[in-house]
Amino acid sequence: MSECVVVKIGSSSLTSDEGGLNRNKISFFASELASIRKTGKQVLLVTSGAVAAGFRRIGYQTRPKLVHEKQAAAAVGQALLMQAYQEAFAAYGIGVAQILLTRADFSNRRRIQNAQMTIEELLRQGILPIINENDTVSTDELDLKFGDNDMLSALVGNLLKASHLVILTDTDGLYMEDPRKNPAAPRIDRVEQISEDIMRIAGGSGSSVGTGGMRSKIEAARIAMRGGVPAFIGRVVENGDLLLAVEGTGRGTYFTAQGHNLPMKKQWLGYHSQVKGRITVDRGAELAVTTGGKSLLPAGILSTNGDFHPGDVVEVVNQEQHTIGRGVVNYAAWQVQAAMGLGTDEVRRRVDVGRIEVIHRDEWVTLA
Sequence ranges of the binding site: 8, 48, 135, 149, 169-170, 211-217
Residue stretches of the annotated binding site for substrate: 48, 135, 149
- Best CA proximity match to 119, nearest among 85, 76, 162: 162
Q: What is the dihedral angle through the alpha carbons of 126, 248, 229, 322, rounded to the nearest 10 degrees?
A: -140
* Centroid of chain to Cα 35: 25
Hey, which residues does 166 pair with through a beta bridge?
7, 232
Secondary structure letter of residue 213 according to DSSP: B
Helix, strand, coil % over all residues of the chain, rounded to 5: 40, 20, 40
Task: Tell me the helices (H) and strands (E) count for the chain, helix number first.
Answer: 13, 15
Buried b (16+ CB within 10 A) or exposed e, 181-217: eeeeeeebeebeebeeebeebbbebebebbbbbbbbb
**Cβ contact 136:74 at 8 Å:** yes
- Per DSSP, the three-state class of 128 is strand
* Distances, alpha carbon 31 to alpha carbons 35, 47, 123, 157, 240, in Å: 6, 15, 18, 21, 9
- Best CA proximity match to 34, nearest among 125, 95, 109: 95
Residue stretches of the annotated binding site for ATP: 8, 169-170, 211-217
The DSSP code sequence of 12-45 is GGTB-TTSSB-HHHHHHHHHHHHHHHTTT-EEEE
* Distances, alpha carbon 236 to alpha carbons 18, 60, 191, 239, in Å: 21, 30, 20, 8
